[in-house]
Structure 1
Amino acid sequence: MPTGVALRDVREQLFDAADRILLRDGPSGLTSRAVTTEAGCAKGVLHRHFEDFDAFLAEFVLDRVDRMDAAAAALRAAAGTGTVTGNLADALSALFGSVAVAIVALVTFRDALRVRLRRAWPAGVPVLTEAAVMVEGYLAAERDLGRIAAGADVETLAPTLIGAGHLLFADRAAGPPDAAAVQRMVTTVMAGVLR
């Protein structure tokens, strides 16, 4: 790799490279050499900015979780518009169509990463728990608007939708489910509470 090449936002460049590798090759393909090669920089660049590769991965995962804030705000803003099932199906497709499924596999794949993440994220898998919070906030807003039943248990519905959505999208070999499959799953989970 050439040295002396100015890198603008090194962290972001490395994180974007990790996204591409995870989506293309899965967690087993994500190595420090693969990341720096994909980013077009020398291997030492990663180690100048991060304590070690697991520190890089932990910051990468937490950065991707932070990026979910915009999706959460957009979903919450959709409350009262369109259909509840349509909004949820779109949000789940966007979430699991991103690098989120691969991040879940990465966290499961690397013991040292899980240990590091526990320092900042004491329970659950960061991407999935943040997604559940996002969906729960949306469902609470829809409940407040009367579009789902007043007694709807949004604290249970949200992780149910996230878990079922994850299972639909988790098969990397088969590719993502079609929109009808996602809509059917959401409709089934929400059937008892829709108004």
Structure 2
Amino acid sequence: MPTGVAIRDVREQLFAAAERVLLRDGPNALTSRAVTAEAGCAKGVLHRHFTDFDGFLLELVLDRVHRLEARSPDLLATAGTGTVEGNLTDVLTDLFSSVAGAIMALVIFRDDLRARLRQAGRQGIPLATEATAMIAAYLTAERDLGRIAADADIATLAPTLIGAQHLLFAGRDGTPPDPDVVHRIVASVLR
């Protein structure tokens, strides 16, 4: 992009470019140069809008955390409809087929990013932590409706589902596992 040409919604354009690089090439390839080249802009554009590259990554992760948190009411709205296993299979498949799984890997990969996230008040692995809370709220609603056991240990079930799915999706070539496999794991964990 030529110098001096205004870019609309720079943050989102750079975030989208970072996601494409992350999904295509993995966390090791995610550099400021790769992001700006993918976005089709000068490297200085990123540095004019963010303190440094880790500051950019911090804002990317926090933005995606907020997007995930905004989806929680949609999952809660499915409580009492369909099957519990089906609803969880859908949300877990969607969650780990999206960039969220790649961002979790990025957070694990970059020590400085984890430190900045802790300074920003985020504990655990962002997106995994929020996904666990979303699943826990859903499971609580289903328990209250009597669709899962009254003595179900939600505090154990939710992170177990997230961890099992993360391991199932980790290291894949970009293709999600068969939904039947995801469903079988969900059903086993809930039993």
Query: TM-score higher than 0.5 here?
Result: yes
**Structure 1 runs not aligned, ≥5 long:** none
Partner of 1:78: 78
CA distance in 2, matches of 1:122, 1:59: 12
Give how far 1:122 is off. 4.0
CA distance in 2, matches of 1:174, 1:59: 24
Relative to structure 1, the CA distance from residue 174 to residue 13 in structure 2 (aligned partners, 3 Å threshold; closer, same or farther) is closer
Of the structure 1 ranges 112-121 and 23-32, higher mean CA displacement relative to structure 2 is found in 112-121
Partner of 1:118: 118
Contact 2:75–2:138 under 8 Å retained in 1? yes
What letter is aligned with 1:44? G
Q: What is the identity percentage for the equivalent residue pairs of Structure 1 and Structure 2? A: 68
Partner of 1:53: 53
Displacement over 4 Å in runs of 4+? none
Alignment of 1:171-182 (within 5 A): 171-173=171-173, 175-182=175-182
Q: Give the match's secondary structure for 2:127.
A: helix
Contact 2:22–2:30 under 8 Å retained in 1? yes
What letter is aligned with 2:75? L
Of the structure 1 ranges 165-174 and 64-73, higher mean CA displacement relative to structure 2 is found in 165-174
Output the TM-score relative to the length of structure 2.
0.96
What letter is aligned with 1:116? R
What letter is aligned with 2:118? R
1:133 equivalent in alignment to 2:121: no
CA distance in 1, matches of 2:30, 2:100: 15
Partner of 2:30: 30
Of the structure 1 ranges 43-52 and 68-77, higher mean CA displacement relative to structure 2 is found in 68-77
Relative to structure 1, the CA distance from residue 36 to residue 174 in structure 2 (aligned partners, 3 Å threshold; closer, same or farther) is closer
Partner of 2:107: 107
Relative to structure 1, the CA distance from residue 94 to residue 18 in structure 2 (aligned partners, 3 Å threshold; closer, same or farther) is same
Of the structure 1 ranges 179-188 and 166-175, higher mean CA displacement relative to structure 2 is found in 166-175
What letter is aligned with 2:161? L
Root-mean-square deviation over aligned CA pairs: 1.1
Give how far 1:99 is off. 0.7
Relative to structure 1, the CA distance from residue 174 to residue 10 in structure 2 (aligned partners, 3 Å threshold; closer, same or farther) is closer
Give how far 1:149 is off. 1.2
CA distance in 2, matches of 1:107, 1:69: 18
**Structure 2 runs not aligned, ≥5 long:** none
Relative to structure 1, the CA distance from residue 49 to residue 174 in structure 2 (aligned partners, 3 Å threshold; closer, same or farther) is closer
CA distance in 2, matches of 1:94, 1:174: 13
Partner of 2:63: 63
Per-residue deviation, residues 35-60 of structure 1 (Å, max 9, x unmatched): 11111111100000000000000110
1:149 equivalent in alignment to 2:149: yes
> How many pairs does the alignment contain?
191
Per-residue deviation, residues 74-102 of structure 1 (Å, max 9, x unmatched): 11100000000000000000000001111
CA distance in 1, matches of 2:190, 2:171: 24
